[in-house]
Chains A and B, each alone.
Chain A
Amino acid sequence: MERMLQPGRSVRTLGWSVICFLLLPVLVIFPISVTDRRFLSMPQHGISFEHYANLFTSPDWLGSIGQSLVIGIVSSAIAVTAGTLCAIGCWRLSSRAGEIVRGLMLVPIVVPTIVYAIGIYRFWVDLRLLDTYTGVILVHAVTGVPYVVITVSTALAGFDQRLEQAARNLGASMPQTLWRVVLPSILPGVVSGAIFAFIQSWDELVIVLFIASRAIFTLPRRIWDGINEHLDPTMAAVAAILILLSALLLVVDLSIRRKREG
């Protein structure tokens, strides 16, 4: 392919311009977050970390961050356990039924969140789970499962099924085989799935808008309220920190993938 249809300079410039467009939001958030003024703007006379200080002394923001962390960690732990077992089960079946189950697990990704949100709202009204940790954690666990099934299935595709049989033949029990033979070799896929499941809970807004009110006020809801009510630079500080967190998780995920390939 080299040299045969190399894009010309203008095409390359256009391509990189699109990348700049993609990164534009990242590039503006950081300067705004250190503005020395009281409204959303570029720094005027100097930079100030006042808005970060506001953020880390605000009980509202800190409370929301704490709630989102608890919900994200517990729900992704459930999603990883259920999703990993499911992916291994489908892989062991290696039949049409396994394929169908895997396909079913993908459905939650394409169903618009708003549609699911109104359905689960009615469910939680009946079960009295509205505005509870249990309610939000269960929902985030369910919506996290598909991501884990995908990443673990991808990891399993490169794992030789005979290794599992060999371990079993040599006298290892089923849990032993899973824990000491299968799991270590698919660990990158599991970790990747855990990261995805955590992020989708950490960022999820639409469902919590329906099933949470006063007691559960997650970080995305706090940001949503901020955007709709008072646009102040504290928001930019929150956004900047969230971007750094995404970048960190992305780097972790990429290095795990590289290790797996290399």
Chain B
Amino acid sequence: MISDRRTSWLMIAPALALVTVLFFAPLLRVLVISVTEPSFGLGNYALLLTSASIQRTLLTTLRICVFTTAITLVLAYLVAYVLTHARPAAQRLMLLGVLLPLWMSVLVRAFAWVTLLRREGLINKALEALGLIDHPLSLMWNETGVTIGMVHYMLPLGILPLWSAMRAIDGRVVAAARGLGAGPAQAFLRIFLPLSLPGVIGAGLLVFIFSLGFFITPAILGGGKIIMVAEYIDGQIQETLRWGVGTMVASTLIATIFLLMVVLGRIVDLRTLFGAK
């Protein structure tokens, strides 16, 4: 039995070593740099309270993430609900429509949105051809564009956990409510919706967490005008070489995410959230 345990640990060792040395150590280093450069102490963290540009970035990030999460949740709930009640053939088709974008490269998706949203893009051309607008709408390089791109990225990540939460709801409970005289709206609002609420909160937190550190889509669709926190960190490191500030913001971001993960872990079983699909 003892040697058996040792074999198990030997099997775990390579991956554990890889992740510890090449993931956790560099991550720890980021935390260390944030309190040692340019000098030892919490000087960088004081900027959270004093720097207008950092506060503006954090506020922009928060606003975009809240909007993205809210819109994603509403749309994802709708799709998950239809998906749960669809016939098998329709369900397969719908699921394919959710999975294909999920599997697509984030760069390819951002590129496609650029072709659709820019001034001379397909949406403006189509609206002009229909005579609905005289001047092209500005759909990107602003928060609208960033939010559209982010909602598109986050939707599958919201739909899948919501769908698995809804599948777990016992249909007989709803049937019983209907049998006892509840109307469809009442049965939905008082039975189905409350039962699906843990799934909603879980999916919402997951989407929010992924939105917070999102880099590629906001950078492309924001065009340097809308700076979210990940792009801000990138700028601090690559352009102004202020490692202390960059790593401080990065550490703050990680701390926020871990805090949210703890909350998430209390609401749903994280393993099913990641492992189910």
Query: Interface residues, chain A, CB within 8 Å of chain B?
Result: 1-2, 4-7, 11-12, 14-16, 18-19, 21-26, 28-29, 32, 40, 42, 81-83, 85-86, 88-90, 92-93, 98, 101-116, 118-123, 138-139, 141-143, 145, 149-150, 153-154, 174, 199, 202-203, 205-206, 209-210, 220, 223-224, 227-228, 231, 235-236, 239, 242-243, 246-247, 249-250, 254
Interface stretch (choices B45-53, B62-70, B131-139, B230-238)? B230-238
**B26 nearest in chain A by CB position:** A119
**B236 nearest in chain A by CB position:** A118
Per-position 1/0 for B69-100, Cβ under 8 A of A: 00000010011011111000000001001111
> A92–B100 contact, CB under 8 A?
no
Q: Collect the chain B residues with CB atoms within 8 Å of residue A108's CB.
A: 19, 23
> A116–B79 contact, CB under 8 A?
no
Find the residue from B111, B215, B246, B254 having the highest chain A CB count within 10 A. B111
Q: Known contacts A23-B101, A119-B29, A203-B106: does B81 contact A15 (CB below 8 Å)?
A: yes
Give the residues from 125 to 155 in chain B that come closer than 8 angstroms, CB to CB, to chain A.
152, 155
* B35 interface contact, C-beta 8 A: no
Interface size class of B (residues with CB under 8 A): 35 or more
**A130: min CB distance to chain B, Å:** 13
Q: How far is the CA of A14 from the CA of B238 in the complex (A)?
A: 43
> B114–A115 contact, CB under 8 A?
no
* B14 interface contact, C-beta 8 A: yes
> B4–A92 contact, CB under 8 A?
yes
* B2 interface contact, C-beta 8 A: no
Given A5-B178, A114-B233, 6 extra CB contacts under 8 A: A7-B85, A28-B115, A89-B10, A93-B12, A115-B250, A139-B22
Q: Known contacts A25-B112, A112-B213: does B22 contact A120 (CB below 8 Å)?
A: yes
> B7–A92 contact, CB under 8 A?
yes
**A91 nearest in chain B by CB position:** B8
> B107–A22 contact, CB under 8 A?
no
Q: Known contacts A22-B152, A115-B254: does B108 contact A242 (CB below 8 Å)?
A: yes
Q: Known contacts A11-B81, A15-B81, A227-B114: does B18 contact A142 (CB below 8 Å)?
A: yes
Q: Collect the chain A residues with CB atoms within 8 Å of residue B156's CB.
A: 22
Q: Collect the chain A residues with CB atoms within 8 Å of residue B7's CB.
A: 89, 92, 174
> B15–A145 contact, CB under 8 A?
yes
Q: How far is the CA of A2 from the CA of B87 in the complex (A)?
A: 9
* B44 interface contact, C-beta 8 A: no
> A246–B104 contact, CB under 8 A?
yes
Q: How far is the CA of A112 from the CA of B155 in the complex (A)?
A: 18
**B31 nearest in chain A by CB position:** A119
* B9 interface contact, C-beta 8 A: yes
Residue contacts A-B, CB under 8 angstroms, 10 given: A4-B175, A18-B155, A19-B97, A89-B11, A92-B4, A106-B270, A118-B247, A138-B22, A220-B105, A227-B110
> A19–B85 contact, CB under 8 A?
no
Q: How far is the CA of A145 from the CA of B104 in the complex (A)?
A: 20
> A40–B115 contact, CB under 8 A?
yes
> A24–B116 contact, CB under 8 A?
yes
Q: How far is the CA of A101 from the CA of B271 in the complex (A)?
A: 13
* B257 interface contact, C-beta 8 A: yes
Q: How far is the CA of A14 from the CA of B76 in the complex (A)?
A: 11
**B79: min CB distance to chain A, Å:** 5
Q: Known contacts A113-B213, A120-B22, A247-B100: does B108 contact A239 (CB below 8 Å)?
A: yes
> B15–A82 contact, CB under 8 A?
yes
Q: Collect the chain A residues with CB atoms within 8 Å of residue B26's CB.
A: 116, 119-120, 122-123
> A14–B114 contact, CB under 8 A?
no
**B250 nearest in chain A by CB position:** A115
- Give the contacting residue for B257; candidates A1, A112, A250; CB below 8 A: A112
Q: Which 7 A-B pairs have the closest CB atoms?
A: A112-B213, A1-B171, A25-B112, A119-B26, A15-B82, A89-B11, A86-B15
